[in-house]
Amino acid sequence: MEKKRIWELGRDSVETYRGKKKLPLVLVVDNVRSLNNIGAMFRTADAFLVEQMVLCGISSPPPSPEIHKTALGAEDTVAWRYYPDTLEAIEALRADGYKICCLEQVKGSIELQKFKVSDAGKYAIVVGNEVDGVDQRVVDASDVALEIPQHGTKHSLNVSVSAALSLWHFFLQLT
Amino acid sequence: MEKKRIWELGRDSVETYRGKKKLPLVLVVDNVRSLNNIGAMFRTADAFLVEQMVLCGISSPPPSPEIHKTALGAEDTVAWRYYPDTLEAIEALRADGYKICCLEQVKGSIELQKFKVSDAGKYAIVVGNEVDGVDQRVVDASDVALEIPQHGTKHSLNVSVSAALSLWHFFLQLT
Q: What digits encode the pLDDT tens for the residues A53-102? A: 999 999 999 999 999 999 999 999 999 999 999 999 999 999 999 999 99
How, if at all, do strands B110-111 and B144-147 pair?
Answer: parallel
Q: Do A44 and B158 touch (CB under 8 A)?
A: yes
pLDDT confidence tier of residue B10, bands split at 50, 70 and 90: confident
How, if at all, do strands A50-56 and A80-83 pair?
Answer: parallel
Number of domains in chain B: 1
CATH of the domain at B51: 3.40.1280.10
Q: Among A21-30, A42-51, B6-15, B55-64, whose mean pLDDT is lowest?
A: B6-15
In a domain, A166, yes or no: yes
Is the pTM above the cut of 0.90? Answer: yes
The pLDDT, as a whole number, for residue A7 is 85
What is the Cα–Cα distance from B160 to B61, expressed in whole angstroms?
15
Q: Do B17 and A152 touch (CB under 8 A)?
A: yes
The pLDDT, as a whole number, for residue B8 is 86
Which SS3 state, helix, strand or coil, does residue A4 take? coil
In a domain, A12, yes or no: no
- Name the burial class of residue B111, with classes exposed (0-12), middle (13-18) and buried (19+) by CB atoms within 10 angstroms of its CB: exposed
Q: How many CB atoms lie within 10 A of CB B107?
A: 11
Which one of B154, B169, B172, B175 would you mutate to disrupt binding with A, by most A Cβ within 10 Å of its Cβ?
Answer: B154
In a domain, B6, yes or no: no
The pLDDT, as a whole number, for residue A1 is 87
Residues of A in Cβ contact (< 8 Å) with B20: 151
In a domain, B164, yes or no: yes
Q: What is the mean pLDDT of residues B88-99?
A: 98
Complex confidence, ipTM: 0.95
In this predicted structure, the answer to whether residue A171 has a pLDDT above a threshold of 90 is yes
In a domain, A132, yes or no: yes
Render pLDDT for B131-172 as a digit per residue (tens, 0 to 9): 999 999 999 999 999 999 999 888 889 999 999 999 999 999
In a domain, A6, yes or no: no
Q: Among A15-19, A38-42, B67-71, B171-175, whose mean pLDDT is lowest?
A: A15-19
What is the sign, positive or negative, of the torsion defined by CA atoms of B27, B35, A166, B72?
positive
| Residue A112 per-residue DSSP state | G
CB B4 within 8 A of CB A105: yes
Q: What is the mean pLDDT of residues B105-119?
A: 96
Q: Domain of B148?
A: 20-174
Residues of B in Cβ contact (< 8 Å) with A164: 157, 161, 164-165
The pLDDT, as a whole number, for residue B104 is 96
Residue in A with minimal Cα distance to B72 = A154
In a domain, B69, yes or no: yes
Which SS3 state, helix, strand or coil, does residue B140 take? helix
Between chain A and chain B, how many beta carbons pairs sit less than 8 Å apart?
Answer: 166
Among A residues 96-135, those touching chain B with beta carbons less than 8 Å apart: 104-109, 113, 133
CB B56 within 8 A of CB B151: no
Residues of A in Cβ contact (< 8 Å) with B104: 1, 3
Among B residues 10-49, those touching chain A with beta carbons less than 8 Å apart: 10-14, 17, 20, 36, 40, 43-44, 46-49
For residue B106, the distance in angstroms to the closest alpha carbon of chain A comes to 4
Which one of A5, A140, A153 would you mutate to disrupt binding with B, by most B Cβ within 10 Å of its Cβ?
Answer: A153
Q: What is the mean pLDDT of residues A100-115?
A: 97
What is the sign, positive or negative, of the torsion defined by CA atoms of B22, B25, B29, B35?
negative
In a domain, A117, yes or no: yes
How large is the greatest C-alpha to C-alpha distance in chain B, in angstroms?
Answer: 50
Interface residue B166 vs chain A (CB under 8 A): no
> Among residues of chain A, what percentage have pLDDT more than 70?
100
How close are the terminal C-alpha atoms of chain A, in Å? 27
What is the Cα–Cα distance from B43 to B38, expressed in whole angstroms?
9
- Count Cα atoms within 13 angstroms, Cβ side, for B137: 9
